[in-house]
Structure 1
Amino acid sequence: MANQLNTPIVNWSPAFDPAFSHTFTFSYTGNQAVKNRAVIYDNDTYENVYDRIQEGLKLDHVLPSNTLASGRTYVIQIQVFDAAGASSALSAPVVFQCFTSPEFYFSNAEDKMVLSSANFTVLLSYSQTESEPLQQFQYYLYGQDRTLLYSSDVFYDGSNLTHTIYGFHNDSIYYLRAVGRTVHGMELDTGYLQIIVQYQIKPANILFSAQNHREGGYLSYYTGIKSIGYETQNDHYSFAGGEVTLWDNMLTYNDQFCITGDFTVVLKARKLPLETFFRMKADDCPYEISMRMLEIGGLYYCRLTVPYGLGDYVFYRELPKAELADAGGHRLTTASGIPISIVNLTYNAEDLVTFTLRRKGGLYSLTLSFEEEEA
C-alpha cells in the first residue's frame, strides 16, 4: 500500500466572477504531485457542486468558466496524487465568494478627452450587482510617458467618490487612473485614460471688477489698465488698426507708467528686429529690465534680462510655434494626441505675439503666445 502524501494547503482566494475561469493555488511539500483534485461545496446548502481531477505538475487548479454562480459562497478542498498512485488527504476547507464583475470607471472622463483648465475634479462610479461593498480606492496621474506624477491617499469612504487633481500644464498629455478593491478582495482598475490639456490663459490686463453703489444708484468699474502718455524720438511712426509702427525710432512711455512692487506688463508686437526692443525700470530698482529678440540655431527666442544681486539674471523663451488646425478651427494632433506645430524658421511674419512679463515676490516670469486675430 502506498504511503499517504502530505496534505496540501489551499491559499486564500479573492472573490471572482464565475463567468470567467479562475485559478486556485496551493502549497505542498513531498513527492512530486502529478495531478490534483478539487472539491467544491456550496457553503449554505452543503451541495457538492464540483469534483474534478486535473493532471499537471503545477500547484494550482483551474476552475472552468460558468461552473459556479454569482452571489454565492463556496468551500474548496484540494487533494494531490503522485506518479505511484499515492494520495493525500483533502486539505482544510477554504471559503471563497463569487460575484459579478463590478462597474468601476470615471463617470465624468473618457479616453482622449480635452481638458480646458489646470484643475480637474474627477468622479468615480462604482456598482456591483450583488451589492459587494467597495473597501478602498486610490487615484493616480501619469505623464505622457506614463511616469507616475501623483498618487492620492488611499480612501475608504465609498460614499464620496470625488477627488480634485491640481496642476495640469497647458498643451500637455496625461494619463488618469484609479484602482480599488472590494471587501472580499476583487481588484478594480479603471485603466489608463488619456487626458489632453488645452486651455487659454487670459492676460492679466483684461481683468475687470465692478462695484454696486446702492446708495448713490450707480456702478463703478475698475481695471488694471492705465492710459499712459508717450513721446517718440522722431516722426518715423504711424498708427493703423490699433497698432503703432516704428522705424529708426524709439517710443518712450512717460506718464502714468509707475511700477512698484509686483507688476504685470503685457506687450503685443509683430516683426520685431533682432535687437533689444523693450526696456523699463521699476521705481524701486535702479537696474534696467530688457527684452531682446535673438536667432539661435535657426529658431527665434526672446531673451529677458532682469536685475539679480550685483549683476543680471538672463533666461530665454522660444517664440511660440504655429499649430495646424482644420477648417473648423480644431487643432490637428498626432496619434498620441500631441498638437502638430510648425517650427518657426523665419521671423518675418504677420503673427501678433503677446509678451507677458510678470514680477511677483521678487521673481520674474515671461510667457509668449500668439494673439488670435479676427479675419
Structure 2
Amino acid sequence: MALQKPIVNAIAAFDASSAHTISFVVNGGDQVTANRAIIKLGSTNEVLYDDTQTTFALQHTIPANTLTNGNYYTIQIQTFNYLDDSSILSAPITFYCYSTPTFEFNNLPTNNVLKNASYNFELSYNQTEGEALSSYIINVYNSSQLLIWTSDTVYVGANGVPPTTFKAMVSGFEDSSFYYIRAVAQTTQFTELDTGYILLTTAFDAKSIYTQLLVTNNSCDGYVTITSNVMSLDGTTNPTPPVYINNEELDLTDPDSYVTWDNSFGIYGVYTARVWLRNPTIDSIIMTIYNASNPNENITLYVRETTISNVEYIYVEAYYVDSNGLLGYIYSNNIAKPASTDQIFIWLQKRDGMYDLILAEVEE
C-alpha cells in the first residue's frame, strides 16, 4: 500500500503567541508514522516553518511564537510511513493569525444580582488586529442550565468591526432565583468565542416592581432622582407606515394589519400582560405571545360575544399551548358590550402555572 495525499482540515484563526495544533485526514494507504508541515507567509510565499514531527496522530503542532499575529499563511502537509516513504504534499490551506479577542458582558450588575424582572445585557467584542465578528448567540439558562431564552444566531455584518457592542433585552426573571447567561460567537475567520456560563441571582426591590416611577429624595445634595420602569419598545407594523387615529391610537381594524415585537415580549414562568383597545372585531385574534426559545409554546387571545337575557356581553377567550404541548382554554369575566368609542382593558397573568384573565371597561 502507498501513502495517500493528506487533506488538511480548515483552520480557524488562532493566536500565534500560543502553540496550536492543526489536523488533517488521510483516506486509506499506509500507516502514518510522521508528518511534515511547510508554512509560507501568504504575502511573499517565503517559507517560515518546515518541520517533521514523529507521531501516529494525524495532527501537527505549531510551536508558540513561530508565526506573527496580523498575517495570513499557507500550510501543506506531507506524511511518512515506517520505511520513511513519503506522500505527495497536500493542497495548500490558507489561515490567519490574530491576537486572542476580548469577548464579554460588560454591564453585569453588582455581584451579578438582578434587581428586577428585565435586564438589558451588553456584550462587547474587541480584537487588536481588527478581525471582525461574524455572529453571536446569547443564551439564558435556569438553575439546572436548561435553556429558557435565546437570541438565536445574530449575524452582525458591518457592525462586527471592533471595537463593538451588542445589546439584548431579556425579560421574565423571577425573584429569588438562580440563572446562567452565556454568549458564544464566531469571527470572520472562524475563531470560536465563549464567555462561559455566568451565574446570575435575582433579588427584586418590591417597591420598584409595581410602580412606573420611583422617586428618591437626595435631600443632602438638593436634588430628586426619578427612575422609570417604563421602556420604549419598537415594533414592526403592517402596513408600513402604520395608520393612526388622532395621532393617539394605532388602527388595526383592517384584518391584514398587525404589530409584531420580535424582542422583549415573551412567555416566561411568571409574566403579566396588559392590553388597552377599543372596538375589537368579534372572534378576531387580539394578541399572540410566543416563547422565544420554543415558538410552539404560545397563548392567543380572542374577543368573544354572548347574549344573556337579551343583553349583549363580550369576554376574552385565551387558547394556550404549554411547554409540554398540552392545550387549554381560559375565559375572562363578561362585561356589557361597550360602545365603539369606549376603551376596554385586558389583564393576563401567569404565576405558579395558573392563569388569571380579567376584562374591564376603562372609565373616563
Q: Which position in structure 2 is the counterpart of 1:171? A: 176
Contact kept? 2:143, 2:179, Cα under 8 Å: yes
Q: Which position in structure 2 is the counterpart of 1:132? A: 131
CA deviation digits over 1:64-92, x for unaligned, max 9?
11211100000000000001121111111
Contact kept? 1:111, 1:193, Cα under 8 Å: no
Shift, 1:48, TM fit:
1.1
Alpha-carbon distance between aligned partners in 2 of 1:152 and 1:72, rounded to the nearest angstrom: 33
Matches within 5 A, 1:196-215: 196-202=201-207
Q: Which position in structure 2 is the counterpart of 1:49? A: 48
The one-letter code sitting in structure 1 at the alignment partner of 2:172 is: G
Alpha-carbon distance between aligned partners in 2 of 1:204 and 1:120, rounded to the nearest angstrom: 13
3-state SS in 1 of match to 2:4: coil
3-state SS in 2 of match to 1:6: coil
The one-letter code sitting in structure 1 at the alignment partner of 2:20 is: H
| 2:93 is the counterpart of 1:94 | yes
Contact kept? 1:23, 1:61, Cα under 8 Å: yes
Alpha-carbon distance between aligned partners in 1 of 2:213 and 2:357, rounded to the nearest angstrom: 20
Q: Which position in structure 1 is the counterpart of 2:148? A: 149
Matches within 5 A, 1:51-90: 51-90=50-89
Where does the alignment leave 5 or more consecutive residues of structure 2 unmatched? 215-273, 275-331, 334-351, 360-364
| 2:17 is the counterpart of 1:19 | yes
CA 1:61/1:361 → structure 2, altered by over 3 Å: closer, same or farther? same
CA 1:96/1:117 → structure 2, altered by over 3 Å: closer, same or farther? same
The one-letter code sitting in structure 1 at the alignment partner of 2:170 is: I
Q: Which position in structure 1 is the counterpart of 2:358? A: 361
Moved more, 179-188 or 148-157: 148-157
CA 1:111/1:40 → structure 2, altered by over 3 Å: closer, same or farther? farther
CA 1:62/1:110 → structure 2, altered by over 3 Å: closer, same or farther? farther
CA 1:63/1:174 → structure 2, altered by over 3 Å: closer, same or farther? same
CA 1:126/1:200 → structure 2, altered by over 3 Å: closer, same or farther? same
Shift, 1:204, TM fit:
9.4
3-state SS in 2 of match to 1:57: coil
Aligned-pair RMSD on alpha carbons? 3.1
Aligned counterpart for 1:185 among listed residues 168, 190, 208: 190
Alpha-carbon distance between aligned partners in 2 of 1:176 and 1:66, rounded to the nearest angstrom: 34
Contact kept? 1:112, 1:194, Cα under 8 Å: no
Alpha-carbon distance between aligned partners in 2 of 1:205 and 1:44, rounded to the nearest angstrom: 62
CA deviation digits over 1:238-264, x for unaligned, max 9?
xxxxxxxxxxxxxxxxxxxxxxxx9xx
TM-score, normalization: structure 2? 0.55
Alpha-carbon distance between aligned partners in 1 of 2:203 and 2:195, rounded to the nearest angstrom: 23
CA deviation digits over 1:101-120, x for unaligned, max 9?
01110110169411101000
Shift, 1:131, TM fit:
0.3
Contact kept? 1:143, 1:175, Cα under 8 Å: yes
CA 1:113/1:27 → structure 2, altered by over 3 Å: closer, same or farther? same
Matches within 5 A, 1:104-115: 104-109=103-108, 112-115=111-114
Q: Which position in structure 1 is the counterpart of 2:221? A: none
Alpha-carbon distance between aligned partners in 1 of 2:210 and 2:30, rounded to the nearest angstrom: 82
Shift, 1:32, TM fit:
0.2
Q: Which position in structure 2 is the counterpart of 1:162? A: 167
Shift, 1:201, TM fit:
2.8
Matches within 5 A, 1:284-323: none
Matches within 5 A, 1:273-284: none
The one-letter code sitting in structure 2 at the alignment partner of 1:84 is: L
Alpha-carbon distance between aligned partners in 2 of 1:193 and 1:204, rounded to the nearest angstrom: 25
CA 1:203/1:30 → structure 2, altered by over 3 Å: closer, same or farther? closer
Alpha-carbon distance between aligned partners in 1 of 2:132 and 2:356, rounded to the nearest angstrom: 52
Identity of aligned residues (%): 37
Alpha-carbon distance between aligned partners in 1 of 2:59 and 2:104, rounded to the nearest angstrom: 32
Alpha-carbon distance between aligned partners in 2 of 1:202 and 1:53, rounded to the nearest angstrom: 69
Contact kept? 1:174, 1:195, Cα under 8 Å: yes
Alpha-carbon distance between aligned partners in 2 of 1:101 and 1:52, rounded to the nearest angstrom: 25
CA 1:172/1:30 → structure 2, altered by over 3 Å: closer, same or farther? same
Alpha-carbon distance between aligned partners in 1 of 2:106 and 2:200, rounded to the nearest angstrom: 14
The one-letter code sitting in structure 1 at the alignment partner of 2:64 is: S
Alpha-carbon distance between aligned partners in 2 of 1:205 and 1:90, rounded to the nearest angstrom: 70
